[in-house]
Chains A and B, each alone.
Chain A
Amino acid sequence: MVVNRLRVGFSLLLLCLLVLSGCSTPRAESSEKPVVKIGMVAPLTGPVSAAGRDFENGVKLAVREANDDTTFPFFVQLTEEDDQNDPLQSVTAVQKLINQNGVSAIIGSLTSDVSIPAHRTACEYGVPIISPTSTNPNVTKDKGKHLPCSFLATFTDDFQGRVAAVFAYRNLKLKRVGVMYDQGSDYSTGLAENFVKQFNSLGGQTYVVTYTGYDNDFSAYLTKVFQQNVEALFLPDLYNRVNLIVNQAKMLGFDGLFLGGDAWDSDGLNRELLSGSYYVGHNASDDPALATFVQKWRSAYKTEPPGVGIGAYDAALVVLNAIKESKSTDASTLMNYIQKTRDLPVVEGKLNMGDDGAATLPAYILKVTPQGPRFAQKLEP
């Protein structure tokens, strides 16, 4: 018992050194609880480190709240590993978290390309892993089957495409939509195909043109689509290519609407040019329902909550909820409880874990304005 207490004390010390947070939480109280170790893999350095830091802040906020909660059955010890947004490093990071730190669950990583190998590796050890931001449906799948320990705390690209179609048909009352997508990109293709399927089944008409990632001149494609008298263009591609397409569309005299997916959610989007367009996003900090969370984030970090931060907070909630419900630190028990997540209140609404390991939760429609994205509508799944 004495040894055990010593170990807990030592872990706490380590935690303070590693996490630099939660140090002020009452030590006496937490030391009476058993410890659960969870890991985090995110790009804390490298080209997307800004998003990696938002990720870290979101996870830490959720962990801190759990540790402040006297009814939470464990003291949560968080270990962070950096993957620099590199698929190879994410594998090493996951192995290190499992083999050296002995974590019971992992939250990570940021982008789908990095999450795919990270999730495969964690699954080899049977440790549950959940990504807050990767939307590629292949993250949780291997040869078309769901990897039982791999989860997404967000909806997938396929879902986004369907949401955009429903919004375009029902809310914007569009009937004829042009769809242009990059055939070389999984993301672009996934959104476009699901949009087309959904929009057509609702009774609308779509006109599809594909291009390749090397193209900068889209006038020929656009002319072809505009011959069909479309009312709007669905452009599920990265913001930089969307900027180019939209500029050329305007030069061709097109004055219809533009619609897109979450890849538009960047300061790189030319918001002057795209003002009035809509895209599917994961959250909106100006949604009135998010006010309490925004307040919480502001008091912790003195900034507005970034989208990645909210997602990471949600993912941590899913893991912490499984720990709370199961009162267990066993990886496979946690895996079962994460799979069974039902109506968990997260920031955006209620989260349910689907059979494919991807969550269903409300999607947001954001409107582009020159000042930034504005909350337009929340669509329940």
Chain B
Amino acid sequence: MQQVINALMLGSMYALIALGYTMIYGIIRFINFAHGDVFMVGAYIVFNVVTIFKFGFWGALLCAVLGTMLLGVVIERVAYKPLRNAPKISLLITAIGVSLFLENFVALPVVMGSMPKVVPSFIPISIYSLGNVKFSSAQVIILVTAVALMIFLGWFIRSTKLGRAMRAVSSDYAAVPLMGINVDNIISMAFAIGSALAGVGGLLYVIVYPEVDPFMGIMLGTKAFIAAVVGGIGNIYGAVAGAYLIAFLEVAMVAAGYSMWRDAAAFGLLIIVLLIKPSGLFGKFEKEKV
């Protein structure tokens, strides 16, 4: 039972990052490999505002969201927009470049340095027990925030005008400008929302794992990416489902005593899903448009 809570926590963490991958892919059919590093920058923003300005949860949340949103939009405008009509492979390689740049920029001694840093606790944490299951207030915050954001995002995409515009760009990139929708703004918005989610992810992450280092986004980003692919990349419900699936699988492996198989199982699942249903569990098959 305790392990179920552990898996829910881990899954929420993966889901927040996976949503960013899947949203951006859904709109411009491109995997933003720098997304894990946006998450890392979000965690560093929290670290800085918490240590320097002694901000609490809400202050840190606001700074992390605004900071990563801005970063996401700047990355899109500077690095990806000029390549929008270039072959997808150029865009992919640029994304890897942006990822390496962010990691090594943060690792510079004058910026943050490459040593891991401890994030002081900035929210009071109390521990509750329910029978023999124990959980902390931090876990409640994470679960509530993550689920609330997923519901909000679902509602936003389904029911608002902007959400509809985003779905339109996703379904037919070329026809949308004819309908009077500014494609550039919609794409920027997708990056802003995706990055903001990564920023929230960074905040929630440092509550449970109170440490930041410049390369922390790599493994989490990779896991979130495979969660998005397993769920069917481009589909936000798929990303969430994939994230929880991977998390439950990992925790189950450890609980069963096969701790060394943890990562192998997660990546094995990806391979199996790709072999059986290449578009992912919730993905829809797309014909190649000519």
Say yes or no: B125 contacts A252, CB within 8 Å: no
Q: Is residue B51 within 8 Å, beta carbon to beta carbon, of the partner chain?
A: no
Can you pick out 23 interface pairs between chain A and chain B where the beta carbons lie within 8 Å of each other?
A47-B114, A210-B259, A210-B260, A212-B263, A216-B216, A217-B10, A219-B6, A219-B9, A220-B6, A220-B254, A224-B254, A224-B255, A226-B2, A243-B116, A243-B210, A244-B209, A247-B209, A248-B208, A251-B136, A251-B139, A252-B134, A253-B136, A268-B115
Taking the nearest CB of chain A, how far is it from the CB of B159, in angstroms? Answer: 34
Q: Is residue B111 within 8 Å, beta carbon to beta carbon, of the partner chain?
A: no
| Cα(A312)–Cα(B250), bound, Å | 45
Say yes or no: A212 contacts B6, CB within 8 Å: no
Mark each residue of chain A from 206 to 234: 1 if its CB lies under 8 Å from any CB of chain B, else 0.
00011110111101110110100000000
Say yes or no: B209 contacts A217, CB within 8 Å: yes
- Chain B's interface size range is 35 or more
Q: Say what secondary structure dominates the interface of chain A.
A: mixed
| Cα(A224)–Cα(B7), bound, Å | 13
Residue of A nearest to B138 (CB): A251
Say yes or no: B255 contacts A220, CB within 8 Å: yes
Q: Is residue A185 within 8 Å, beta carbon to beta carbon, of the partner chain?
A: no
Q: Is residue B129 within 8 Å, beta carbon to beta carbon, of the partner chain?
A: yes
| Cα(A217)–Cα(B209), bound, Å | 8
Q: Is residue A45 within 8 Å, beta carbon to beta carbon, of the partner chain?
A: no
**Candidates A210, A220, A226, A243; contact of B211 at CB < 8 Å:** A243
Q: Is residue A183 within 8 Å, beta carbon to beta carbon, of the partner chain?
A: yes
Contacts of A244 in B (CB 8 A): 209-211
Residue of B nearest to A210 (CB): B259
Contacts of B213 in A (CB 8 A): 240
| Cα(A251)–Cα(B143), bound, Å | 14
Say yes or no: B260 contacts A223, CB within 8 Å: no
Mark each residue of chain B from 262 to 287: 1 if its CB lies under 8 Å from any CB of chain A, else 0.
11000000000000000000000000
Q: Is residue A270 within 8 Å, beta carbon to beta carbon, of the partner chain?
A: yes
Contacts of B7 in A (CB 8 A): 220
A212-B260, A220-B254, A251-B136 given as contacts; is B118 within 8 A of A243 (CB)? Answer: yes
Contacts of A216 in B (CB 8 A): 209, 216, 219-220
A240-B211, A268-B116 given as contacts; is B3 within 8 A of A223 (CB)? Answer: yes
Q: Say what secondary structure dominates the interface of chain B.
A: helix
Q: Is residue B239 within 8 Å, beta carbon to beta carbon, of the partner chain?
A: no
Residue of A nearest to B113 (CB): A47
| Cα(A253)–Cα(B220), bound, Å | 25
Contacts of A220 in B (CB 8 A): 3, 6-7, 10, 250-251, 254-255, 259
Q: How many residues of A contact B (CB 8 A)?
A: 29
Taking the nearest CB of chain A, how far is it from the CB of B191, in angstroms? Answer: 26
Q: A217-B6, A224-B257, A273-B210 are in contact. List 15 more A-B contacts (CB 8 A).
A: A209-B254, A211-B262, A217-B10, A217-B13, A217-B250, A219-B10, A220-B10, A223-B6, A224-B254, A243-B116, A251-B127, A251-B138, A251-B208, A252-B134, A253-B134
For A217, A247, A272, the residue with the greatest tally of chain B CB atoms inside 10 Å of its CB is A217
Contacts of A210 in B (CB 8 A): 259-260
**Candidates A215, A240, A247; contact of B116 at CB < 8 Å:** A240
Mark each residue of chain B from 97 to 136: 1 if its CB lies under 8 Å from any CB of chain A, else 0.
0000000000000000011111010000101010000101
Say yes or no: A215 contacts B129, CB within 8 Å: no
Contacts of A270 in B (CB 8 A): 118, 210
Contacts of B125 in A (CB 8 A): 251
Taking the nearest CB of chain A, how far is it from the CB of B270, in angstroms? Answer: 16
Contacts of B220 in A (CB 8 A): 216
| Cα(A248)–Cα(B237), bound, Å | 29
Mark each residue of chain B from 1 to 44: 1 if its CB lies under 8 Å from any CB of chain A, else 0.
01100110110010000000000000000000000000000000
Say yes or no: B254 contacts A221, CB within 8 Å: yes
Residue of A nearest to B6 (CB): A219
Contacts of A214 in B (CB 8 A): 219, 263
Mark each residue of chain B from 242 to 266: 1 if its CB lies under 8 Å from any CB of chain A, else 0.
0000000011001101011011000
